[in-house]
Amino acid sequence: MRISDWLRVGLGMFVVAFGANAFAPLMVSYRLEAGLSDGQVTAFLAIYIVGLIPALIIGGPLSDTYGRRALIRPALVLSFFGSAVLALGAFGPAFFIGAGRFITGLATGLVMASGAAWLKQLSAGPSIQGARRATIALTSGFAGGPLVAGLVAEFLPKPDLFPYLLHLVLVTLITPLVWNTPTVTTGSSGKGKLFASQVATKRFWLTLGLSGPWVFGAASTAFAVNTRLLEAQMDHPVVYTGSIACLAMVFGNLIQRFVGTSRTYPPAVYGLSLIIVGMLCSICVALWQDSIVGVIFGLLATIPLGFAYGILMSSGLQEAQRQAPDEELGAASASFYSLTYIGFVFPFVISILGPAIGYIMCFAFGIAMALFTIFMVLRFDGRFFKKSRRRAQKAPETTNIARS
């Protein structure tokens, strides 16, 4: 049976994302068994970003020039070596963990920019089809990685080794399927643009620039912040953290069929509204972190935060790609994805500010920022304010008719 080209590309994105997020539940193991501090463990999330964002920014334009496959291949190789170096961390210093996360970030950056652009070119149907497929491929990997890694780490010996070995096997199996996928011409001649043309616009920065970081900001709040607050209550904290990370991603996938179906407001407004609900639940987690009530709210928070992740990821990617020509698709995808990964810095910042000013204050600030972002998205979308102006213009006419 022949596997369709878009599915082969999706599998490549899946396996790289699987390895990238397998680290999420292992943060607990590194704290409890390796004796690393909260700051050290969450810093490994930030090191991942240090590798990922430059790879996105450079890889997107390179894929516009040299083709998508030229970037997917090294991404798969880097993903393999990233997990191999992380596995060495089981026998050596924490340096191997940081180096492995950096290499994994490089791999993820390359595969996201080129893979999302490639899937758009391979996808017929509605304009959002490519963005949905890219989101589902990545999110399935981001979900499967922590779930499987959490189970393996909890119930097998060497929790900082076997999850990475499993990923090495997966990469070895999937890489041959992706390696010779027919490439798609981009129409670009010469050197691709480092940034898409739309990056120079105020609209880009005041809409996607504000909403983009919430993509992984929402997800990482669920699996890296709330789970840390509840860790002391868990008999199997590694499995719990992996399950929450998986659930957040699963909810992100489940919402995909509804993204973009409403004509009343932009999809980002719904995603940001769900973030507010998730932050309110997170405040309850902080208030009752020592009781079963906190655990319940931790689970409840995962639902809106996962939905928000899925909505903001696919709608933001569609918006970034919407006006980009084929020769800028990679750069446009890279620009948006770079913004989303800023959200992975949130847990690191909260791990520092939370003990100092209180976790409730951190979540309350998140609510305020989400409200501000909703206002900016509506302001630049125009539909909401146009309706308001039309209602204001009709009001005097109605009053005059009533008087006559």
Residue 236, classified by CB atoms within 10 Å of its CB into exposed (0-12), middle (13-18) or buried (19+), is middle
CA angle 140, 142, 146 (to 5 degrees): 115
* 337 shares a domain with 203: yes
Cα 217 to Cα 1, 210, 312, distances in angstroms: 40, 11, 11
* 230 shares a domain with 169: no
* 221 shares a domain with 165: no
Report pLDDT for 51.
92
* 61 shares a domain with 165: yes
Q: Express each pLDDT in 236-293 by its tens digit.
A: 888 888 889 899 999 998 988 787 667 778 889 999 999 999 999 999 999 999 999 9
> Where a domain ends, among 143, 177, 211?
177
Report pLDDT for 402.
44
Report pLDDT for 37.
80
Q: What is the rounded CA–CA span in Å between residue 278 and residue 139?
A: 19
In this predicted model, which residue has the larger pLDDT, 384 or 56? 56
* 170 shares a domain with 280: no
Q: Express each pLDDT in 360-374 by its tens digit.
A: 999 999 999 999 999
Domain assignment of residue 235, yes or no: yes
Domain assignment of residue 187, yes or no: no
Q: Express each pLDDT in 171-196 by its tens digit.
A: 999 999 999 888 766 555 445 566 66
* 276 shares a domain with 135: no
In the structure, what pLDDT confidence band is assigned to residue 158 with cuts at 50, 70 and 90?
confident
The DSSP symbol for 263 reads S
Share of the chain above pLDDT 70, in %: 88
Domain assignment of residue 188, yes or no: no
Domain assignment of residue 400, yes or no: no
Q: Which two tokens stand for residue 239?
A: 């499995």
Cβ-Cβ contacts under 8 Å for 386 (sequence gap 6 or more): none
Report pLDDT for 1.
56
Nearest to 332 by CA among 133, 186, 151: 186
* 163 shares a domain with 221: no
**Would you report the helix, strand and coil content of the chain in percent, each value rounded to 5?**
80, 0, 20
Report pLDDT for 223.
87
* 244 shares a domain with 149: no
Q: What is the mean pLDDT of residues 317-331?
A: 77
State the residue range of the domain holding 322.
195-392
Report pLDDT for 186.
56
Return the number of other C-beta atoms located less than 10 Å from residue 74's C-beta: 16
* 98 shares a domain with 222: no
In this predicted model, which residue has the larger pLDDT, 31 or 78? 78
Report pLDDT for 277.
98
Report pLDDT for 97.
92
* 229 shares a domain with 161: no
Domain assignment of residue 204, yes or no: yes
Report pLDDT for 118.
86
- Would you say residue 403 has pLDDT above 50? no
The DSSP symbol for 3 reads P
What phi and psi, each to the nearest 5 degrees, are found at residue 34? Answer: -90, -10
Domain assignment of residue 155, yes or no: yes
Domain assignment of residue 146, yes or no: yes
* 164 shares a domain with 209: no
Helices (DSSP H) in 212-266: which residue ranges? Answer: 214-220, 227-230, 237-254
Q: Which two tokens stand for residue 10?
A: 């999706």
* 207 shares a domain with 65: no
Report pLDDT for 261.
67
- Would you say residue 124 has pLDDT above 80? no
Q: CB–CB of 377/75 below 8 Å?
A: no
Top-confidence range, 27-31, 89-93, 154-158, 310-314: 310-314
Cα 207 to Cα 40, 203, 213, 316, 319, distances in angstroms: 32, 6, 11, 9, 10
Instruction: Give the chain's mean pLDDT.
Output: 85
Report the CATH number at residue 382: 1.20.1250.20
Report pLDDT for 392.
47
Q: What is the mean pLDDT of residues 54-58?
A: 89
> Where a domain ends, among 177, 208, 235?
177
The number of domains in the chain is: 2
Q: CB–CB of 166/356 below 8 Å?
A: no
Share of the chain above pLDDT 90, in %: 43
In this structure, of 151-160, 225-234, 345-354, 390-399, the range with the lowest mean pLDDT score is: 390-399
> Where a domain ends, among 177, 206, 230?
177
Return the number of other C-beta atoms located less than 10 Å from residue 124's C-beta: 7
Q: What is the mean pLDDT of residues 50-55?
A: 90
In the structure, what pLDDT confidence band is assigned to residue 81 with cuts at 50, 70 and 90?
very high
Domain assignment of residue 402, yes or no: no
Report pLDDT for 387.
52
Return the number of other C-beta atoms located less than 10 Å from residue 66's C-beta: 16
- Would you say residue 404 has pLDDT above 50? no
Q: Express each pLDDT in 291-323 by its tens digit.
A: 999 999 999 999 999 999 999 998 888 888 776
Q: What is the rounded CA–CA span in Å between residue 222 and residue 214?
A: 12
- Would you say residue 395 has pLDDT above 80? no
